[in-house]
Amino acid sequence: MQVVNTVIRNSLHSEVSLINTIGEHIIGNAGKRLRPALVLLSSGLLGSVSSQQHQIAAIIEFIHTATLLHDDVVDESELRRGKSTANHIFGNAASVLVGDFLYSRAFQMMVAIKNMRVMDILSEATNIIAEGEVLQLLNLHNADVSEAAYLKVIHYKTAKLFEAAARLGAVISEDNNSSDEENLALYGMHLGTAFQLVDDVLDINGDAEKTGKNLGDDLTEGKPTLPILYAMHQSDAKQAAVIRQAIEQGGDNDIPAVLAAVAATNACEYVLSIAKKEADAACAAIEGFADSEYKTAMIQLTEFSVSRQF
């Protein structure tokens, strides 16, 4: 990962100073780097990690970072990972344009690898992520979103890049076959789903100092996440009406009442149980691979995804 971080910083460089400043702001405030780590872990599971894997891991992180820059503009977010967002500091226009730069730089790096299969996977993933963002936008302030529709957004918006990262580890490994690729893709998809489900729980009952963002942001924005939807369906008519109003109108006026309903219906416990099933499915997908430090790390990663507090 230290090598990947070096590749990221070297590839980020531009002659335009504002790009360097904003890029360093968000890349320097590094998150968990799970997606690039998946490229290295899945590659190691099948043999070895080389400079090509480091390049692809950096590409994955650039794509992810571009989505964050654009997300924060769309959501009008002011805080990420405990620090002010780029759009809050530099403005929406600069954040969107630097996000575009990161996307285009990622595709420059893809072309340099000269592997059409890699380009196919990453271009499809990038397109599906964009579709997921639009689906989430369409669901905004919609209290009638079904659990299936909610999970579809997660699969598109979040899990797809996890899936692509894990799949690419197999694609660029010399010792691989189609079943290895599909199993690793399944691992990534289930892991990404579990990760986002826990994110949605932490938005409601997490520790703001640990999560690095304001609690209740999703509800304030009118996003119908699964804990909120489950609480609405399990509540009495009066509580359900309050939750519906909170989703449809947004804002923070109804947050205390909604949180009380979430607690009363054990909504967070319900969503965490689904996340645990997804994590178990991820482990099952790599069960057939030989035991190694990479496999152990990937299993531990599924455990972390559902037990984390940040």
249 close to 219: Cβ distance less than 8 angstroms: no
Instruction: Please write the tens of the pLDDT for every residue from 26-63.
Output: 777 767 899 999 999 999 999 888 899 999 999 999 99
Q: Measuring CA to CA, which residue among 122, 166, 172, 98 is closest to residue 302?
A: 166
Q: Please give the average per-residue pLDDT across 226-238, as a whole number.
A: 97
The residues pairing with 171 across neighbouring beta strands, listed in sequence order, are: none
Give me the helix-helix angle, 226-234 and 178-205, nearest 10°. 60
Predicted pLDDT of residue 81: 67
The residues pairing with 80 across neighbouring beta strands, listed in sequence order, are: 83
Which residues, 6+ apart, have CB-to-CB distance to 249 below 8 Å?
Answer: 141, 222
**What is the distance between the alpha carbons of residues 308 and 310, in angstroms, rounded to a whole number?**
6
Hey, is 11 helix, strand or coil? helix
pLDDT at 208 over 80: no
247 close to 219: Cβ distance less than 8 angstroms: yes
pLDDT at 287 over 70: yes
| pTM of model > 0.75 | yes
Here the tokens at position 112 are 């340099």
Predicted pLDDT of residue 31: 73
225 close to 218: Cβ distance less than 8 angstroms: yes
Predicted pLDDT of residue 251: 86
Which residues, 6+ apart, have CB-to-CB distance to 209 below 8 Å?
Answer: 82
Predicted pLDDT of residue 212: 65
pLDDT at 147 over 90: yes
Here the tokens at position 214 are 């304001």
CATH class name, domain 2-307: mainly alpha
pLDDT at 221 over 70: yes
Predicted pLDDT of residue 210: 73
Instruction: Kindly provide the b/e burial profile for residues 180-207, where b requires at least 16 CB atoms within 10 angstroms of the residue's own CB.
Output: bbebbbbbbbbbbbbbbbbbbbbbbebe
